[in-house]
């Protein structure tokens, strides 16, 4: 950003500012703890829920996509590999056994979280957060857009598939709840590719504000007019319109504002934090939603990456604070409904820093899976490929030694109860990595 | 989303994919492309067949078998004669005035009228923008001293206002297109985007592609957005080098390699900005060594060449604009924008040939794309939120003192202007936009209810007649230029007739007409 003033930021920087201010106030959580507690106990809350669910043996999946290619070597630091430090004189996270204040938090004797990921340590220690390293797509593309597309459609280097892996998963299983009005949501201003093709699935940027506006007294008649009008529309607009109309009442019955989290969990007041907080409320309100897709961007750290105090630090703080809150609120809270979270990004970044204290597009990366039935508390690696120049892909990047679809396919089969992995990941034979318990 | 296909056992043996077979390629560019090669599709079909077979054991317990879609539904057909189709495609919304102009000039003369945009008298809009949004005409030194929020709003509001009310509608459509092609995320560069909008996008939107690319490469906003300002010899940053090839010129399948990315990166080292903005070549940051870019050798220079080092990057720009992949990629994207989501291969060839023959003359390319035959064959396209808002404003013809309130309405619909963070620009497909429909209805309800001078919609003009049918007719004529389908007009009349006719009722009916399925497509 150099010397350019940021006063013009309208919403892109809001998160950054809010986070920064809260840090000054004294860490995540403290400042806003009371804000989410409503004096009125929402009628649909709390732990009632899900007893009515017709199938609680299958997990709800929350898929988090880190857009921009996150630097897995900062998110989950291979401190045991001396080449990590050799290649990153300015942006490395100090070893956990160093005396530095911002030293890493050891996960085992090889890998560490940076301080910004501290909020996810409890989930890791509870054995419910799995980190998978040197993973990613087997496609070598270093283009954001190709790499994202191949990951989201679930098949590398295939431009013919228009639908996403989660979309085909939902289409290939019976609804968890018969007659569910809504089975999938993209918490997004457009439908993410991974959900394309899913029945009863629409993007909803803000579930707490879902209305057609206008005068209340004519709402019903306008809604039926629209239902009739869109009944003859072309797809995918027809289904989206009808699903939206069905969903208005469902969502309006939920008191998102007064939503009371479990275990005192506090979500960061960021777009991402509010999004997952809404996701938690949706899951607990038992509408039959099976898949939620949400993105967090800001990972394309070509310059001034600074995982210790700067831009990537803040992005990681947002990620870990939100997922940590979701873990406490939903996963650790004894909810009858199991939920599995997966976190991935299109590629990792160069092993060595570039000339502007950032990193350019790379290959192998970290991904995460979180849930009560995830075999977590460890960093899963299929032979660490190493960070010495001769060990790197194109002498630059961490190699991919574990296809990310191995992780997803096992979750689809074991946790989402879908034996048709071939539909979800066409032409792929997964290797079992014991990702689930 | 679309319902998965239900199939029975008999169908399993006959799994032909449903995609259209004739799409043309740089598949990369597009999220809508359905196929690159027949063999690919066949392999996919086998994959699905095998996968579907796995479903068989479940049949005993399940009542049905579903086959998840792997292709996307076809867009609906377009309607109307070729002239109406042309007006739809080269404007941000059909108005009675625009359609009358087209009818009086005829197809070719109407197209030429819009291609010759500078000859169109647009003083009213130019004056309004100059008076209300002076920032868009200022230089960096002036902009730097302004309140930065005011500057951002000025660009967003001026863009909305011009898009809706400028007489130079094709020009505005292309400004929209190039703003995505050379996307810049406003918060990363702030007021520098205002300068880019003026000196890169608007200056060249109907001009020469090579000129626009060169202007973009020298644009402070672009150099900052894609980090070239931070790329120095032996300390490089590849961001701009990659995206100029992948997104601005060749396309991701345009034949460059990772080595080309590295070499182009070296060629652009030292391209940076000065002071508050403005191109600067910094020889101390330039890599003077020899480079090989797409098979072309750029010889080494002595460090003493100093300012001459800038010619490395200029040479790269010349190589890129002359490359056949650029001709095809730009042609492909322009066809996708102006005509249809699935450009036919033969048309891409023809437009690319025109690019090469004319040295990237955008007007000449548009002439090849916008023919009666091409328009007749093209199905409808789905309006992006910005386009929908403009079309709604053009239908409503409101009195406007300012458009500030619309900024947030557009944000609500998912397209806050100049806030797409990634360098690929807002998506141009129905996958992304098709789902977010409720927010569109909410906007139309908002717009049709506006009264007063700031942003007021007058519906009394539809009410000089009294019956529901007559009011629907009047609305069709005055706001929709007579383009409503008979069934939509009937349903609008039905809504009007279902309660006592009042101005409020007419506003709601107008809002529904704008919310209707057919108004989402163009």
- Reading the block at residue B178, the tokens are 């190039």
CA-based nearest distance B115→chain A, Å: 32
Partner residues linked to B292 by β-bridges: B297
Q: What is the pLDDT of residue A342?
A: 98
Which of B149, B223, B225, B435 to probe the A interface (max A CBs under 10 A)? B435
Contacts of B170 (CB under 8 A, 6+ apart): B90, B91, B114, B115, B117, B206, B366
Helix axes B82-90, B96-105, angle to 10 degrees: 120
- Lowest-pLDDT choice from A119-128, B8-17, B39-48, B143-152: B8-17
Partner residue opposite B148 with nearest CB, options A5, A195, A230? A5
List the single range of A215-224, B228-237, B462-471, B513-522 with lowest mean pLDDT: B228-237
CA distance A335 to B274: 57
Contact of B507 with B474, CB cutoff 8 Å: no
Is the per-residue pLDDT at A22 higher than 70?
Answer: no
The pLDDT score that the predictor gives to residue A56 is 58
Average pLDDT over residues B255-259: 95
Q: Cα separation of B495 and B510, whole Å?
A: 10
Say what the pLDDT of residue B54 is.
37
pLDDT-derived band of residue A157, with 50, 70 and 90 as boundaries? confident
Which residues of chain B are within 8 Å of residue A67 when distances are taken between CB atoms?
421-422
Q: Cβ of B36 under 8 Å from any chain A Cβ?
A: yes
Distance from CA of A355 to the nearest CA of B (A): 3
Q: What is the pLDDT of residue B66?
A: 65
Question: Higher-confidence residue: B266 or A141?
Answer: B266
CB contact under 8 A, B151 and A212: no
In this complex, which of B252, B435, B436 lies closest to A143 when CB atoms are compared?
B252
DSSP B46: H
| pLDDT at residue A336, as a whole number | 79
Q: Are B459 and B397 in contact (CB under 8 A)?
A: no
Using a CB-CB cut-off of 8 Å, the residues of chain A touching B72 are: 162-163, 196, 236
Q: Which of A171, A189, A355 sits opposite B232 (nearest CB)?
A: A355
Nearest chain B Cα distance for residue A332, angstroms: 32
Q: Which of residues 277-306 of B touch A (CB under 8 A)?
A: none
Half-sphere exposure of B1 (CA within 13 A, CB side): 36
What are the respective helix, strand and coil percentages of chain A, to the nearest 5? 35, 15, 50
Whole-number pLDDT of residue B315:
98
Q: Does residue B160 come out as left (phi exceeding 0), alpha (psi in the -120 to 50 range) or beta? A: alpha
Angle at Cα B28 formed by Cα B25 and Cα B34, nearest 5°? 55
Percent of chain A with pLDDT over 70: 87
The reported pLDDT for the residue numbered B270 is 97
CB-based contact B511 A214, cutoff 8 Å: yes
Kindly tell me if the per-residue pLDDT of B64 is higher than 70: no
Distance CA B262, CA B300 (A): 16
The closest alpha carbon to A393, from A365, A358, A368, belongs to A365
- Reported for B59-67, long-range contacts at CB under 8 A and 24+ positions apart, including other chains, are B59/B9, B62/A174, B64/B6, B65/B6, B65/B7, B65/B8, B65/B9, B66/A171, B66/A172, B66/B4, B66/B5, B66/B6, B66/B7, B67/A171, B67/B4, B67/B5, B67/B6, B67/B7, B67/B15
Average pLDDT score over residue span A270-285:
95
Residues 6+ apart with CB under 8 A from A377: A124, A125, A126, A127, A128, A129, A130
Distances (CA, A) of A398 to A71, A209, A362, A393: 11, 42, 7, 6
In chain B, the percentage of residues whose pLDDT exceeds 70 is 87
In three-state secondary structure terms, A85 is helix
Interface residue of A159, A193, A207 to substitute, partner B, most B CBs within 10 Å: A159
Backbone angles phi, psi at A143, to 5 degrees: -85, 130
| β-sheet bridge partners, residue A62 | A292, A341
Tens digit of each residue's pLDDT (9 = 90 or more) over B327-346: 999 999 999 999 999 999 99
Mean pLDDT, rounded, of chain B: 89
Q: Which residue has the higher pLDDT, A4 or B121?
A: B121
Q: The tokens of B255 are what? A: 């034949």
The predicted pLDDT at position A5 comes to: 35
pTM, rounded to two decimals: 0.84
Residue B45 has pLDDT above 80, yes or no: no
The β-bridge partners of B488 are: none
ipTM exceeds 0.85: yes
pLDDT band for B426, please (50, 70, 90 cuts): very high
> Three-state SS for B406?
helix
Q: What is the pLDDT of residue A57?
A: 82
**Average pLDDT for chain A:** 87
B56 at A interface, C-beta within 8 A: no
Chain A residue with minimum CA distance to B238: A360
> Mean per-residue pLDDT for B480-503?
97
- Say what percent of chain B tops pLDDT 90: 85
B2 touching chain A per CB within 8 A: yes
| Percentage of residues in chain A having pLDDT higher than 90 | 75
Average pLDDT of A283-309? 94
Write down the pLDDT at residue B15: 31
């Amino acid at each position: 950003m150099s010397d350019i003033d940021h006063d013009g930021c309208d919403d892109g920087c809001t998160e950054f500012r809010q986070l920064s201010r809260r840090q000054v106030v004294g860490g995540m959580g403290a400042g806003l703890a009371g804000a989410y507690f409503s004096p009125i106990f929402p009628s649909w809350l709390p732990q009632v829920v899900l007893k009515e669910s017709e199938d609680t043996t299958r997990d709800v999946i929350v898929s988090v996509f880190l857009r921009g290619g996150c630097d897995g070597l900062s998110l989950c630091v291979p401190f045991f590999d001396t080449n990590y430090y050799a290649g990153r004189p300015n942006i490395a996270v100090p070893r956990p056994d160093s005396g530095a204040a911002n030293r890493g938090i050891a996960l085992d004797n090889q890998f560490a979280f940076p301080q910004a990921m501290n909020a996810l340590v409890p989930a890791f220690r509870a054995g419910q957060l799995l980190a998978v390293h040197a993973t990613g797509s087997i496609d070598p593309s270093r283009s954001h857009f190709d790499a994202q597309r191949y990951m989201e459609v679930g098949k590398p280097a295939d431009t013919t598939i228009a639908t996403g892996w989660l979309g085909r998963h939902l289409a290939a299983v019976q609804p968890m709840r018969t007659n569910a009005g809504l089975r999938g949501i993209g918490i997004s201003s457009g439908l993410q590719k991974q959900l394309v093709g899913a029945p009863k699935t629409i993007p909803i940027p803000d579930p707490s504000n879902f209305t057609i506006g206008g005068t209340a007294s004519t709402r019903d008649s306008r809604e039926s007019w629209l239902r009739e009008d869109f009944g003859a529309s072309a797809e995918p607009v027809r289904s989206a319109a009808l699903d939206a109309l069905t969903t208005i009442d469902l969502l309006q019955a939920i008191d998102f504002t007064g939503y009371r989290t479990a275990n005192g969990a506090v979500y960061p007041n960021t777009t991402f934090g509010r999004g997952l907080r809404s996701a938690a409320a949706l899951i607990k309100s038992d509408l039959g939603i099976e898949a939620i897709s949400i993105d967090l961007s800001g990972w394309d750290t070509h310059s001034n990456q600074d995982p210790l105090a700067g831009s990537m630090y803040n992005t990681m703080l947002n990620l870990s604070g939100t997922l940590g809150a979701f873990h406490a609120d939903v996963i650790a809270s004894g909810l009858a409904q199991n939920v599995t979270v997966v976190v991935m990004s299109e590629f990792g970044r160069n092993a060595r820093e570039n000339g502007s204290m950032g990193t350019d597009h790379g290959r192998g990366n970290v991904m995460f899976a979180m849930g009560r039935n995830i075999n977590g508390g460890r960093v899963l690696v299929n032979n660490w490929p190493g960070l010495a120049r001769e060990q790197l892909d194109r002498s630059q990047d961490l190699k991919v030694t574990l296809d990310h679809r191995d992780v997803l396919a096992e979750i689809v089969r074991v946790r989402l109860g879908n034996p048709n992995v071939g539909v979800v990941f066409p032409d792929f034979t997964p290797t079992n990595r014991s990702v689930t318990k | 989303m679309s319902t998965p296909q239900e199939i029975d056992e008999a169908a399993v043996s006959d799994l032909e994919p449903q995609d259209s077979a004739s799409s043309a390629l740089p598949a990369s560019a597009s999220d809508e492309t359905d196929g690159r090669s027949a063999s690919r599709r066949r392999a996919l079909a086998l994959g699905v067949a095998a996968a579907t077979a796995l479903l068989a054991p479940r049949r005993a317990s399940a009542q049905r078998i579903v086959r998840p879609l792997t292709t996307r539904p076809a867009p609906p057909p377009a309607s109307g004669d070729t002239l109406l189709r042309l007006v739809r495609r080269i404007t941000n919304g059909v108005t009675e005035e625009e359609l009358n102009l087209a009818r009086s000039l005829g197809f070719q003369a109407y197209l030429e009228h819009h291609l010759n945009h500078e000859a169109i008298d647009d003083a009213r809009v130019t004056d309004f923008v100059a008076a209300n949004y002076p920032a868009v005409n200022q230089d960096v030194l002036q902009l730097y001293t302004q309140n930065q929020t005011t500057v951002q709003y000025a660009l967003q509001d001026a863009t909305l206002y011009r898009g809706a009310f400028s007489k130079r509608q094709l020009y505005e459509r292309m400004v929209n297109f190039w703003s995505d092609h050379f996307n810049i995320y406003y918060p990363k560069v702030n007021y520098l985007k205002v300068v880019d909008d003026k000196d890169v996008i608007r200056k060249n939107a109907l001009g020469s592609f090579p000129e626009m690319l060169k202007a973009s490469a020298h644009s402070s906003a672009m150099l900052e957005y894609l980090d070239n300002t931070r790329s120095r010899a032996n300390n490089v940053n590849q961001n701009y080098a990659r995206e100029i090839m992948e997104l601005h010129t060749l396309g991701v399948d345009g034949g460059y390699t990772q080595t080309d990315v590295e070499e182009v990166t070296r060629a652009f080292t030292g391209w940076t900005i000065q002071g508050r903005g403005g191109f600067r070549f910094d020889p101390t940051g330039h890599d003077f060594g020899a480079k090989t870019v797409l098979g072309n050798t750029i010889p080494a220079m002595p460090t003493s060449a100093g300012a001459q080092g800038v010619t490395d990057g200029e040479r790269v720009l010349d190589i890129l604009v002359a490359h056949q992949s650029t001709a095809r990629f730009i042609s492909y994207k322009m066809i996708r924008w102006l005509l249809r989501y699935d450009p036919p291969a033969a048309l891409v060839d023809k437009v690319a040939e025109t690019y090469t023959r004319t040295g990237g003359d955008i007007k000449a390319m548009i002439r090849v794309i916008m023919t009666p035959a091409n328009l007749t064959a093209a199905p409808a396209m789905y309006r992006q939120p910005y386009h929908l808002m403009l079309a709604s404003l053009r239908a409503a013809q409101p009195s406007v003192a300012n458009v500030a309130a619309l900024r947030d309405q557009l944000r609500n619909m998912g397209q806050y202007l100049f806030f797409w963070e990634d360098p690929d620009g807002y998506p141009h497909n129905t996958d992304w936009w098709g789902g977010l429909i409720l927010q569109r209805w909410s906007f139309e309800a908002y717009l049709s209810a506006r009264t007063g001078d700031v942003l007021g919609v007058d519906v009394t003009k539809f009410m000089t007649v009294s019956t529901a049918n007559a009011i629907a007719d009047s609305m069709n004529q005055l706001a929709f230029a007579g383009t409503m389908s008979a069934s939509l007009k009937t349903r609008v009349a039905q809504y009007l007739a279902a309660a006592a006719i009042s101005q409020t009722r007419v506003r709601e009916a107008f809002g529904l007409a704008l919310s209707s399925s057919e108004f989402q497509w163009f």
